Structure formats: structure tokens, C-alpha cells
Amino acid sequence: MNSPANKRKVKIVCTLGPASNTREHLIALIEEGLDVARLNFSHGTHDYHRGLIQSVREASLFTKKPIMLMQDLQGPKIRAGVLPKEGVHLKEGDVVLLYPEGATPKTSATGKILIPISAEIAQAIAVSVQKGARILFDDGKIATRATAVNPPEIVVEVEVGGKLTSNKGMNLPGTPLSIPCLTDKDLEDLHFGLSQGVDAVALSFVRNAHDIDILRNQIRKVSNEMPMIIPKIEREEAVECQNSIIEVSDGLLIARGDMAVEVGAERVPIIQKRLIYGCNQLGVPVITATQMLESMISCPTPTRAEASDVANAVFDGTDAVMLSGETASGQYPKVAVQTMARIVVEAERMKASYSRHQEALSMPGSVVDAIESSAAQIAEKVGAAAIACITHSGTAARTLAKFRPEVPIVAIVDQESALRKLALVWGVHGEVIQEIVGTDDLFAMVENVLKTQNWARSEDLVVVTAGVPTLKRGTTNMVKVHRIARG
């Protein structure tokens, strides 16, 4: 039978980088539990990412495990410009002039420390910032407050000092920004990703549901295939309108790093729980990310706090947990994935013993919701070994996952692209067959898949959902309890 690790329901997203950029590296990570490969377009050339994509596909073919490719767009990252090699030392009370990199300051520099900021966003920031607004640098380590605004320049006073070096990030908590959600670089990267057939696109620094519409329209201009759109929740504006964002998204990524700087670290755990709860209710896959096993970048074992963080995300109901530097540039990428998988499996085992999933919202009038909800309940009552979900697009399997059945969900699809997108969805495993067969052969086909892949044995009960007699897209209308034949 499948091992407990292979029956893991919460999926693992791994960020790729120098520590995981070869076919051999990726085979090792896949064998330990990688389900989704994250390509971080804040770093690397298109040629570099082309090589990564090829390596992922070769490793996926070798391991016979479909791997989702998730392109993570950089977004309008607000950064300081190039500073002296030794950096600039700022102390409390210093007055700093922020001006567009490459330009000559218009504001008097007398008594001020000059700090260039990214020229492409300087004007938009200065227009949005009000006197008294907080401006943070380097993940909030350095804090300043605006004392004068003269677009595209801002004068700030340092409240918490430190050493500032080139290209460190900036955050403006409490300041709504008018910057477009897609930069010119993002559009170039998006076109490249679509040409390479990525399965999902993650959008950084989302503010509202309109940003998702903008990305979706840009994709439609250049591609007939629509990847999953996964907004990253890291700005306060997004937190405030989370429900409308979830409703128009195919997935969600809780980016806790920038979020902590924007809203305060003390609010992140509660926001995480609310986001996961909202996604669970609507059946939208959700990824919990940032510093989950951060110490394993340089240490082969996690801290107890990190292990608890991963387990608590599982208890909250997350669909996936994400590794960043641990697998991109860390010293122990394989061990980090192995550790993550072990923590998830143990947390799932304990969760089943004392916790029941919060009731998901059924869509009124939806046949597929009614069928899949019933399938989950029936499987529990009859002690089924698995639920086989015959689906063309994957919608039925995603709907079934919303109801969090205790038994494995085995999606049977006729396109590998559909199965790759299901790699992010809680509890879903799958098999690609050449053709969805007619009704007469349907259950023989299901039996063959489940027995061949060790999801069920002879005489086990399984639950099957499908659309009969047509077996066409969007026709799920049947649930049946089926006993696997002897032999």
C-alpha cells in the first residue's frame, strides 16, 4: 500500500534556486515530498528559469509524479537604490532625503542624508505618501517617518536606525499605493512563463480583487490556456478585502514576511487563521508561507517553534506549506523537505483524532457540490478506502477536497495539465488515463487505477463520483459505493 508519507494530504511547495536547480536535486526533493515547484522571478534570467522548468519536467517524468509549476511574479517591489558598498549608517534623529535613483535632488540636501530609491516607483510613492506616514526599510529593521513631501521626493526622519545597504526593500504600512499591480518586468516575465506553460501565476502585493482581474485580462491577451491565479496576501489593503479577493482567485498565498512588516507581527497569526478559514469555506486552495523552517537554511534540524508553526498551519486547515530559502539556497534542501513532510504527516494524524474540519459552504443549486459533499459523508460512514473522482478539468476533485474527507481523493483525469493543477489541492492524488471510458467500462477502469496505484485492495469499498452517461465536462451527477472485485 502507499506509505503514510504518500498519503499526506497537505501539499509541499518548494522554491527553486541554486540548491535545487538540477534534475538530480529535483528528483531527490520530489521523492521526499515536493508537490509544487515555485519559480521566483525576483531573481534569475529567463534562460535560467527555462533551465529550471526543463529540469522540473525531466524530474517529474523520472519520478512519474506530476509537479505543478508556479511562477511567482516580482510585482512592484519598492526598494532603496544603489548605496556605497559599506552601506549607510542611519541613527535616530537623522534627516534623510529620498529621491529617484539617477536623478539630481531638487530639495535642498543641506543637513540631510541622501538615499536614492527605485526611480520607476518614486513618483507614485511620493504622490501617495502623506506627511507623518511611516516608511520602513529592510523588513522593518529601519523605521522612518515622512516630514515633508515634494513629489517625487520625500524627506523623512529616522526613528529606528541601522545600517542600510543597496536594494533593501521598503514598506509603507497604512499608505494605500497607486502603483500598478503589474510592472513592465512582470509583463515580460508573464509572457515568458505562459510560453513555457506554467500551471499557476502568483501575483505579488495584491491590493484588491481588481488586481486579479487585471492579471487575468493580461493572460487572455496572449494565451488560450488559463493558469491558476494565486494572489499573495501581504498588504493591509488586501487583508481588509480578503473575501472579495478569495472569491475571484484560484488559490491564495499567505506571504507572512511582508505582511508582518505591513500590519505588525502580532497580527499575523490571527490573519493567517482568518484567511485559511475563508479559503476553506469556498474551496480555494491556500498556501502558508515564509520562514516555516528558516533555521534549516544552515542547520539540519528545525527549531521547536518552527515545527509548531508548520503543525499549526495544518491544524488551521491550510492546503499547502511552503519552503523558500530552505530549498532555494539552503545547505540542507532535501532534509528540509523530508522534515516538513514528517511534521505534516504527524500533525494530520493528530488532527484526525481530535478535530473535525469546519463546515464548508455549499453552493446553492450546485449539483457538483451536492454530489461531492455526499461522497465525503458516504465514504466516512461506509469506511471506504478511497474516493475516486472522475473529472476532466479537475473541478469536481477540488470541490470534493473542500469537504475534507478523511480518505484519499484519487482524481482520474485525461489531461496531465489538469492533474498538475491539482498538485496544490489538499488531499488530492491522481492518475492520468488516455481516455475517460464509457459507462459500461467505468468501474472496471476505476478498479484498475485504484489497485494498480495501491489505493485499494480486493473487496475494499470505494466511493466513485462521475458524470453519467455522458462523461463530459461539467456533468458530475453520480455517486456510487463500489466494492473492488476479488482477485
Q: What is the pLDDT of residues 344-383, one digit of tens each?
A: 999 999 875 544 455 677 777 789 999 999 999 999 999 9
- Calpha distance 36→67 (Å, rounded): 6
pLDDT of residue 94: 97
* Amino acid identity for residue 345 in this structure: V
Classify residue 361: in a domain, yes or no. no
Question: Which residue from 468, 397, 463, 406 is spatially nearest to 430, judged by alpha carbons?
Answer: 397
- Are residues 394 and 421 in contact, defined by beta-carbon separation less than 8 angstroms? yes
Active-site residue, selected from the candidate residues 57, 79, 112, 141 = 79
- Calpha distance 448→462 (Å, rounded): 12
What is the DSSP-derived secondary structure letter of residue 330?
-
What is the DSSP-derived secondary structure letter of residue 486?
P
Active-site residue, selected from the candidate residues 8, 9, 11, 38 = 38
| Full domain range(s) for residue 393 | 367-483
- 188 in the same domain as 157: no
Choice between 82 and 358, residue whose per-residue pLDDT is larger: 82
- Whether 232 is a known active-site residue: answer yes
Q: Which residue has the cell 484519487?
A: 410
- 197 in the same domain as 54: yes
- 222 in the same domain as 301: yes
- Whether 486 is a known active-site residue: answer no
- Are residues 241 and 208 in contact, defined by beta-carbon separation less than 8 angstroms? yes
> CA triplet 278, 274, 250: central angle to 5 degrees?
35
Q: Give the count of domains, the chain.
A: 3
Active-site residue, selected from the candidate residues 15, 144, 175, 290 = 290
How do residues 37-72 score in pLDDT, each as one tens digit? 999 999 999 999 999 999 999 999 999 999 999 999
Confidence of residue 3 (pLDDT cuts 50, 70, 90): very low
Domain boundary among 171, 204, 224: 171
Active-site residue, selected from the candidate residues 168, 232, 351, 402 = 232
- Calpha distance 147→156 (Å, rounded): 5
Domain boundary among 298, 318, 349: 349
Q: What is the CATH number of the domain that holds 241?
A: 3.20.20.60
Question: In the predicted model, is pLDDT for residue 119 greater than 90?
Answer: no
Classify residue 6: in a domain, yes or no. no
Share of the chain above pLDDT 70, in %: 96
- 344 in the same domain as 269: yes
- 311 in the same domain as 427: no
How do residues 417-454 score in pLDDT, each as one tens digit? 999 999 999 999 999 987 776 666 888 899 999 999 89
Question: In the predicted model, is pLDDT for residue 152 greater than 50?
Answer: yes
pLDDT of residue 357: 52
Domain boundary among 136, 171, 206: 171
